[in-house]
Each structure stands twice: as C-alpha cells, then as structure tokens.
C-alpha cells in the first residue's frame, strides 16, 4: 500500500492525525488521487455498481443499467442523479419552538423565520442532510455535476459511453428544480 493510499484510508476512517490532515488539505494533490479514493470506497461497498462520483459522505452517483443513479452506502437507490434525491428521502421538518430547541437550546430561532429539514435514508434511516430554510422555500438541489466534462476534461478518462449523449447540466436545469 502506498503512502498516499494509506493516507486516504486513514482519512475515510477518521484516524488521520490533525497535523497530517492539515498538511494534506493544503498540499498539491497528485494525479490519480481521485481514482484511488474511489477504488477504496468501492471496496467498502456491499453492492457492485460502479461509483462515478461520491456525492456526500454517505451518497454516491453510480452507474446503473445505462444511467447514473444516486445510491446510499446501505444500497438504497434514490433514482436518476439529475433529479433531487432529497424529494425521495424521508423528510422530517422541525417547525415548532420545542422542536428547534431540541437542537439549538435557548439560541433557537423563531419558527416563523426558519425551519430545519432533516433528510433521512428510507433504507437505513441515516441522517443524510439537514437544510435550514425559510418556511415555504423550495427544497434546495445541492449539486448537479457535469459528469461527462468531469471525466473527459478533468480526469482525462473515458466517461461511460451512455453519458456522452446526455446534455450538460445547464442553468435552466437548475432553475427548474
Ligand atoms: Zn441508506
């Protein structure tokens, strides 16, 4: 195992000492780091679908039957990556003073000004994301990557061929979500 690979494994396990973590954050990232990172993640999953891009610390964009889907590490699938996975999650909204106080104690905001939306995986119950939003504000769509450009122009690797025909995400796609 190379030093870089060991560092990535320690990083994922949360065992990298702060001094090394700090150095790693500001250091030049060698080419191939992303591929090593994804290979280590892939080894740890119990499912076979290829990870195209990690989305959060629990969610991944994976190759699935000729399209790209969002998948939890437990195996639950949320559907096409161009759709907002949050809308397929279990959603708990904290909108009363008591519910907000459970999190913020005496420093809770007034529920007329902000609510907390907790998005949980229907498969494993993990808390995947929390949004603080003004009541009535649409559910935010966090990240819509341009996978074709990422593979072709950044990684200089062939993207899955079925991705080539897909239009790049546009500002219009964002606005419609
Ligand atoms: Zn899950």
129 alpha carbon – ligand 1 mean position (Å):
12
Q: Is residue 52 part of a domain?
A: no
Give the residue among 117, 57, 172, 55 at the shortest CA–CA distance from 69: 55
Q: Name the strand (E) or helix (H) holding 132.
A: strand 127-133
pTM attached to this predicted model: 0.85
Task: Mark whether 97 and 177 lie in a shared domain.
Answer: yes
146 alpha carbon – ligand 1 mean position (Å):
24
Q: Residue written as tokens 């007329």? A: 112
Q: Is residue 56 part of a domain?
A: no
Q: Is residue 150 part of a domain?
A: yes
Task: Mark whether 108 and 177 lie in a shared domain.
Answer: yes
Give the residue among 77, 87, 85, 90 at the shortest CA–CA distance from 145: 85
Q: Is residue 68 part of a domain?
A: no
Q: Which domain holds residue 18?
A: 1-44
Task: Mark whether 35 and 89 lie in a shared domain.
Answer: no
Q: Is residue 21 part of a domain?
A: yes
Q: Is residue 33 part of a domain?
A: yes
130 alpha carbon – ligand 1 mean position (Å):
15
39 alpha carbon – ligand 1 mean position (Å):
20
Evaluate if residue 172 carries a pLDDT over 70.
no
Task: Mark whether 90 and 177 lie in a shared domain.
Answer: yes
What is the tens place of the pLDDT at every residue in 31-79? Answer: 888 999 999 999 999 999 999 999 999 999 999 988 899 999 999 999 9
**Number of domains composing the chain:** 2
Predicted confidence at residue 12, as pLDDT, reads 87
61 alpha carbon – ligand 1 mean position (Å):
14
What is the tens place of the pLDDT at every residue in 77-120? Answer: 999 999 999 999 999 999 999 999 999 999 999 999 999 999 99
As a whole number of Å, the end-to-end CA separation of the chain is 43
Q: Is residue 23 part of a domain?
A: yes
CB burial of residue 71 (10 Å; 0-12, 13-18, 19+): buried
153 alpha carbon – ligand 1 mean position (Å):
31
Task: Mark whether 119 and 171 lie in a shared domain.
Answer: yes
128 alpha carbon – ligand 1 mean position (Å):
8
- Token representation of residue 151: 């593979």
Task: Mark whether 24 and 94 lie in a shared domain.
Answer: no
Task: Mark whether 38 and 93 lie in a shared domain.
Answer: no
Task: Mark whether 37 and 113 lie in a shared domain.
Answer: no
62 alpha carbon – ligand 1 mean position (Å):
14
Give the residue among 3, 14, 5, 93 at the shortest CA–CA distance from 43: 5
2 alpha carbon – ligand 1 mean position (Å):
31
pLDDT band at 129; cut points 50, 70, 90: very high
Give the residue among 49, 52, 37 at the shortest CA–CA distance from 76: 49
72 alpha carbon – ligand 1 mean position (Å):
5
Task: Mark whether 166 and 90 lie in a shared domain.
Answer: yes
Q: How many CB atoms lie within 10 A of CB 58?
A: 16
Q: Name the strand (E) or helix (H) holding 69.
A: strand 67-72
Q: Is residue 134 part of a domain?
A: yes
Output the CA torsion 71→167→159→41 (10° steps): -20
């Amino acid at each position: 195992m190379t030093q870089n690979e060991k560092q990535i494994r320690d990083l994922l396990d949360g065992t990298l000492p702060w001094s090394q973590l700090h150095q790693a954050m500001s250091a030049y990232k060698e080419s191939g780091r992303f591929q090593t990172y994804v290979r280590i993640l892939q080894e740890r999953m119990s499912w076979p679908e290829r990870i195209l891009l990690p989305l959060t610390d629990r969610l991944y964009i994976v190759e699935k039957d000729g399209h790209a889907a969002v998948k939890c590490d437990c195996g639950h699938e949320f559907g096409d990556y161009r759709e907002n996975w949050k809308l397929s999650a279990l959603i708990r909204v904290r909108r009363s003073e008591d519910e907000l106080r459970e999190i913020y104690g005496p420093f809770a905001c007034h529920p007329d000004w902000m609510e907390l939306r907790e998005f949980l995986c229907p498969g494993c119950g993990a808390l995947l994301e929390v949004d603080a939003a003004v009541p009535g504000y649409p559910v935010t769509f966090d990240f819509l990557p341009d996978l074709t450009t990422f593979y072709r122009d950044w990684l200089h690797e062939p993207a899955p061929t079925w991705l080539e025909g897909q239009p790049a995400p546009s500002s219009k796609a964002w606005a419609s979500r």
